[in-house]
Amino acid sequence: MLGYTVLIAAVALERVAELVVSQRNLKWSRSRGGVEFGARHYPVMVVLHTALLAGCLFEAAHREFIPALGWPMLAVVVAAQALRWWCITTLGRQWNTRVVVVPDAVRVTGGPYRFVSHPNYVAVVVEGIALPLVHSAWITALVFTVLNAALLRVRISVENTALESLS
């Protein structure tokens, strides 16, 4: 369980790093007239993602580590993190945890965006399943996946509307 706790702590620190990058990019975007879309769902997203980490730790305390499941899921978590940071670096200053559009910005279509419209959400979905399953926390994986699907339905709609203003 100690190793899993360290993993969850590392993911939490990674989220803090994301927020630092996001805040810097938000300041840059706003200084250029950036407009935020869908701000009302953002607090729900923060709570859900925080609950994922807490749920992982709580449920894993009552589960056994199953190597045949845990090690492959750890590899999937690492791959999801790699995809997430590929998205962040590809979008550069346009990347944000919020949906912010800078007037006259060019829509990014390179990197992972040449393959999938919303690759960061692929990373989120994959991680939301794999991270809990590293330590057999299947209830957390299931609950997060269902709630995240509802949130992503709203989020992707908001983001698509925002992206239309870049066309």
**61-80 pLDDT tens trace:** 999 999 999 999 999 999 99
Domains and CATH numbers, the chain: 2-164 (1.20.120.1630)
Confidence of residue 167 (pLDDT cuts 50, 70, 90): low
Tokens read off for 52: 């994922």
Tokens read off for 155: 């989020």
Provide the β-strand partners of residue 36: 100
**CA-based Rg of the chain, rounded to a whole angstrom?**
17
pTM, to two decimals = 0.93
CA triple 164-93-17, angle to 5 deg = 120
